[in-house]
A and B are shown apart, each in its own frame.
Chain A
């Protein structure tokens, strides 16, 4: 296990197209987070999963965005009808969650850079 992986690393699409990104977390991690990062900004929280349950969603996650984690392992983030404003780096992170109230570190993936033309 070499850490969190994301696929693809780069995606160029035309406005109006749908795109889907995949995140494979570290195998025993039960929490999975999605973030979006635009140029000059820090990561913005989008959503997180505890196993297969999506427990938090940001208001940034419009109805064009949907995320799934069907078996509590890998996750997908889909953007429908992409807009130029969706151009950003999409980051995934995973962690062991807060078992026993203790914080367990988030490990980040390399990100998927989306460019919408």
Chain B
């Protein structure tokens, strides 16, 4: 069965500290992996996807097929990074999307 697991509901770090938000998945096939972010009182929006292999707002994520993980990382957290982060996967046709339960990142000054 398709599943996305985000083990941490809340992650608190100090400004300038490294951040890693964990995401593990199970999927029978080759999934497309994404990270979405929701800032306070804003809409859910795409942060990055694995295939583009780009850094957005200093965040990167590497797909590890052996460990079925897609962890989100940033070397130096900023207060404006505080938000809810969701890991998601879809099939190759983007017909269905499966979201994790989310991790709330709190960056303290």
Chain A residues at the B interface, C-beta cutoff of 8 Å:
3, 31, 33, 35, 40-45, 48, 55-56, 58, 91, 93, 95, 97-98, 103, 105-111
Contact = CB atoms under 8 A, between A and B. Distances in A.
Interface residues of B, number: 22
Given A45-B99, A103-B32, A108-B43, 11 more contacts: A42-B88, A42-B100, A45-B97, A45-B98, A48-B96, A55-B95, A56-B96, A93-B44, A98-B93, A103-B49, A107-B45
Given A42-B102, A106-B46, A108-B43, A95 B95 contact: no
A43 B86 contact: yes
Interface of B: 4, 6, 9, 32, 43-46, 49, 51, 86, 88, 93-102
Contacts of A3: 43
Nearest to A48: B95
